[in-house]
Structures are given as C-alpha cells and as structure tokens.
C-alpha cells in the first residue's frame, strides 16, 4: 500500500484530484459519531453530490438527535458489516472521516480493512498508523475535521450552500464547545462567519442540539450529576453511568453524548472522567482536561486516544476494578 501523508491545513493536490474523480464514494466515521463526525460526512457528501457523484454515508451506531435535525432525508445509514461490504464492493473510493484508527469504525472495521477500494482518511486526531491508508490527510492542530472538509471544498471550488454550511457549522461548533474551548481560534470564528453568511443559523442549531432533550435524558443527567465523586482536593471529578440507569430512564446509550462536558462546570476540577457501562463488564471512558494536563497521554495507556484536552478509550473489568485503575492513572497525571 502506497501511503501519502500530509499534516498541512491544505489538502495535497493528488488527494484533491482523487476525491474530485470519485463517482460512488462511501463515507465512514467513528463509533458513536458526534457533531464533527456526522457534520463532516453530510457536508462532504452533499458537496460531492452537487458535482454529480453518488456518495453513501454509513455509520456503525445511531446518533438520534443529530440525525433527526441534520439528516431529515435519511441519507445517513446505520449499517451492518454486510451492508458495508456490499457498499464498498461497488464504490470507487472509501473516505474515512474524523478518525485515523480502523478500530474506531466498530463493526464496520473489517469491511473497510479488507476492501480493495482506495481508502483515504481526513482527520484531526493524532494518527495511530499513518501507513494504514492509501492516503492520509491529518492535521492534529486543526480544531475540527469539519474545517479540513471546508478547506477541501474550497480547493475543489465547490460553492458552500446553506445545505453544506449547516452541518459544517455543527462540526466546528460542537468540537469547540460552541466556541468556548481553547481551540476556538481566529480561524474557527472566521470560518463560522463564512458558514453563517452561507446560510447556517446558529440560534436554530443551538436550540436543536441543546434545548431538545427528552425528559428521560434530562432526569438521567440530574442523577449523574448528583452522584459525582472527587479526589485530589477536587482536582479530579468523575461519575459513572450504569446500564440499569439507562434502562430505568428509558434512554439509549447514544443520548448521553455530551454528559461529560457538564463535569467541567465544577470549580477547581482539572481532570474530568465519565465512565459509561456499555454492557456487562465493558465501559466507555471519556476524559476531559480543564488545564495543562494531557488526557490523551492518559488514554493512550489504555489503548485509546484523542486530543490533549479531550480523549477516551474502552476498558473491560468489574465496576470497582475499572474505576480504581482509571482513577489511579488520573491521580498519577495530577502528580
């Protein structure tokens, strides 16, 4: 496999040419997709469709709230491995967005790995294996994959319509904490201004994302916050969401996306951890840093990754064992 790697904010020429030539691209992203993941997929797919291509968007897990208002046409498909195999067999390019780790594709991983179609990756996370793709365009300094997609569309000369601007705005806004995080650079605001001028409505999008929770989700959030634990004089704050709680409030796992950001509201906290029991003995762990601590390095200890201020990983074990191991690692970081 011939690999071309670029870490610049502008895509390499041959990368652009191949994307422009694709007629039936398949777009994949990571498990439990967030606003940057689905926003990047939808924006790129709509842009390529405007040029006569027939893109298909596949995800491994549903994102109910995001799909409900971002994708009313139902273009985003929650796919099985068999569906992905069939789609890739008739594709001329596989575009993997917002992750450079095949394992993060979930049940679509094997289909992507074993497909003979060219595999191009666009990502802003630290790369696990740069040799895994036919071409990799990665810029870890970029605040959101959506900004890389915007740069690609500019290079392709595609006009940013309202239909493209809306998911790109969601991609950029959600990965910068609605422009509150330290990665909300001047480029982010300049790009957001462009997208608003093109038709994105920030007030509507914010209401759709943050003022549209189910009663069960809101009650679950309250219970999670009421059970916070802290150590190291409040510098470490963490909480646990159990499967039994999700069942009691009648909400799917996907609906608790964003819960960890509420932990950042605690004054004096430097590292925030949310443990989510995805099944018996299996946990999804999300990490956040409010200060100079690097939680990406911590996630790497457990086979995960992400960014310095936001990272995560999967881990197996009993409840007490998992919490003890991760909390101990966090305390070491704080030392």
Q: What is the pLDDT of residue 84?
A: 97
Task: Identify the residue with better confidence: 271 or 257.
Answer: 271
Question: Given a cut of 80, is residue 49 above it in pLDDT?
Answer: yes
- Number of helices followed by number of strands (H, E) in the chain: 14, 13
Instruction: Please calculate the CA angle 98-39-161 and round it to the nearest 5 degrees.
Output: 130
Cβ atoms of residues 44 and 149 within 8 Å: yes
Give the pLDDT score at 12: 77
pLDDT, position 126: 82
d(CA 14, CA 277): 43
Q: Looking at the predicted structure, is the pLDDT value of residue 128 above 90? A: no
pLDDT of residue 118: 97
pLDDT tens for 168-185 read: 999 999 999 999 988 999
Cα separation, 148 vs 140, in Å, equals 11
Q: Which residue has the tokens 């070491």?
A: 332
Confidence of residue 222 (pLDDT cuts 50, 70, 90): very high
CB hemisphere CA count around 140 (13 angstroms): 14
Give the pLDDT score at 2. 41
Q: What pLDDT sits at residue 64?
A: 81
| pLDDT tens for each residue of 135-181 | 999 999 999 999 999 999 999 999 999 999 999 999 999 999 999 98
- Domain 216-334's class? alpha beta
Confidence of residue 225 (pLDDT cuts 50, 70, 90): very high
Query: From the centroid of its chain, how far is CA 25?
Result: 20
Domain covering 4-159 assigned CATH 3.90.1640.10 in the classification: yes
Task: Check residue 2 and report its DSSP letter.
Answer: -
Q: pLDDT tier at 1 (50, 70, 90 boundaries)?
A: very low
Radius of gyration of the chain (CA): 19
The string of DSSP codes covering 160-223 is --HHHHHHHHHHHHHHTTTTTSTT--HHHHHHHHHHHHTT--HHHHHHHHHS---HHHHHHHHH
Question: Nearest-CA neighbor of 110 among 137, 95, 88?
Answer: 88
Kindly state the percentage of the chain with pLDDT values over 70: 97
Comparing 46-55, 119-128, 151-160, which segment has the lowest mean pLDDT? Answer: 119-128
The neighbour count for residue 281, using CB atoms within 10 Å, is 13
The pLDDT, as a whole number, for residue 10 is: 75
Q: Where are the domains of the chain?
A: 4-159, 216-334
Strands 236-241 and 271-279: parallel
pTM of the model: 0.87
- Two structure tokens written together for 313: 């990983």
* Tokens of residue 245, six digits: 């709680």
* Number of neighbours of residue 320 by Cβ within 10 angstroms: 8
Q: How far apart are CA 226 and CA 64, in angstroms?
A: 26
Instruction: Please name the residues in contact with 286: beta carbons below 8 A apart, sequence gap of 6 or more.
Output: 260, 273, 274, 276, 310, 311, 312
- Inform me whether the pLDDT recorded for 285 exceeds 90: yes
Residue 6's beta-bridge partner residues? 137
Of 222, 212, 278, 249, nearest in space to 67 by CA = 212
E strand or H helix that includes residue 95: strand 93-97
Q: Is the pLDDT of residue 4 over 50?
A: no
Over residues 216-222, mean pLDDT: 94
Whether residue 315 is predicted with pLDDT greater than 80 in this model: the reply is: yes
The structure tokens listed for 118 are: 């060219």
| Residue 292 pLDDT | 86
């Amino acid at each position: 496999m011939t690999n071309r790697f670029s870490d610049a904010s502008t895509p390499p020429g041959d990368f652009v040419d191949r994307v422009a030539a694709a007629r039936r691209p398949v777009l994949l992203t990571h498990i439990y997709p967030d606003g940057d993941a689905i926003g990047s997929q939808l924006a790129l797919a709509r842009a390529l469709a405007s040029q006569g291509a027939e893109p298909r968007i596949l995800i491994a897990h549903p994102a109910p709230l995001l799909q409900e208002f971002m994708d009313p046409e139902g273009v985003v498909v929650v796919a099985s491995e068999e569906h992905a195999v069939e789609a890739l067999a008739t594709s001329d390019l596989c575009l993997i967005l917002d992750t450079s780790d095949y394992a993060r594709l979930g049940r679509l991983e094997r289909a992507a790995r074993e497909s003979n179609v060219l595999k191009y990756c666009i990502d802003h996370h630290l790369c696990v294996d740069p040799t895994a793709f036919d071409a990799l365009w990665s810029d870890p300094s970029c605040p959101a994959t959506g900004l890389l997609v915007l740069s690609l569309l500019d290079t392709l000369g595609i006009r940013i319509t309202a239909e493209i601007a809306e998911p790109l705005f969601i991609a950029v806004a959600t990965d910068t904490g609605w422009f509150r995080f330290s990665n909300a650079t001047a480029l982010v605001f300049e790009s957001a201004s462009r997208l608003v001028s093109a038709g994105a409505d920030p007030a509507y999008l914010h209401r759709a994302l943050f003022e549209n929770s189910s009663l069960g989700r809101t009650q679950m959030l309250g219970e999670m916050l009421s059970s916070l634990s802290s150590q190291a004089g409040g510098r470490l704050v963490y909480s646990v969401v159990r499967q039994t709680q999700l069942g009691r409030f009648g909400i799917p796992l996907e609906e608790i996306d964003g819960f960890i950001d509420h932990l950042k509201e605690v004054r004096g906290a430097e590292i925030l951890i949310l443990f989510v029991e995805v099944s018996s003995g299996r946990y999804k762990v999300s990490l956040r840093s409010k200060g100079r601590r690097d939680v990406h390095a911590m996630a790497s200890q457990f086979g995960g990754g992400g960014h310095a201020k936001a990272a995560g990983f999967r881990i197996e074990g009993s409840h007490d064992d998992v919490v003890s191991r991760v909390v101990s690692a966090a305390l070491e970081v704080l030392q």
